[in-house]
A and B are shown apart, each in its own frame.
Chain A
């Protein structure tokens, strides 16, 4: 049973280019979350998606960032016109569908994509 997959693992972009980060959740998981981690800091929540729906994007910057989780295919975090401050590790996590009466749901994290903006 494959875990959460992210690609690419490393991505280098020049300022002004676009970055596309992909996340394939664990099999059977319909919830996806994106987090950003700067060096020596904890992860910061960005966005929470279900299939074809954005549930919570309170942690997403208002400009240049967007996320989607289409009916088919991986979830994509898209950063337009990247700047040096976007350099970070971006982690995706997935969890199963919340079920009635289930008290806890664990998020399973992928290995991350390390974005470097030159």
Chain B
């Protein structure tokens, strides 16, 4: 599974746009990029997933350059409730390579939104 590198922590003021970048230099052809959000004492929650270019949903946007060696999660106008740990994961969700479908979580980025 491809290893990911992301900042350990970030601070942002309420109402600002937050961009969290993840590096995944060894991403494989079949790998997708998935972001999860985890609040204290809760399980991770799926935010967004993409393969290339740009993906947008009601929560966030995901930007993936052509070489796919990095990706950026963009959270528009964050609020205090967005304070959480954000995990970038890279893997083949279909499990075609390993027959499995597990996710590799790094240490994540701890986002703190300040009033």
Q: Are A33 and B42 in contact, with the CB atoms below 8 A?
A: no
**Given A103-B94, A104-B93: A56 touches B100 (CB 8 Å cut-off):** yes
Q: How far is the CB of A101 from chain B (nearest CB, A)?
A: 10
A107 in contact with B49 given A91-B43, A98-B94 (CB within 8 Å): no
B32, B44, B94, B104: the one within 8 Å of A109 (CB): B44
B59 to chain A, nearest CB (A): 13
Residues of B contacting A55 in the complex (Cβ-Cβ under 8 angstroms): 99-100
Report yes or no: A105 in contact with B101, Cβ–Cβ below 8 A: yes
Q: A91-B44, A112-B42 are in contact. Are A42 and B105 (CB under 8 A)?
A: yes
Report the count of interface residues on B (CB-CB < 8 A).
Answer: 25
Q: Distance in Å from the Cβ of B48 to the closest Cβ of chain A?
A: 10
* Chain A residues, Cβ within 8 Å of B102: 33, 45, 48, 56, 59
Q: Which residues of A contact B43 (CB under 8 A)?
A: 4, 91, 93, 109-112
A105 and B108 in contact (CB under 8 A), knowing A33-B102, A48-B101, A55-B99?
no
Distance in angstroms between the alpha carbons of A40 and B49 in the assembled complex:
24
Using CB atoms, name the residue of chain B closest to A109.
B43
CA distance A41 to B95 in the complex (A): 24
A44 at the interface (CB under 8 A from B): yes
Interface check A2, CB cutoff 8 A? no
Interface residues of B (CB under 8 A from A): 32, 34, 41-46, 49, 51, 87, 93-95, 98-108
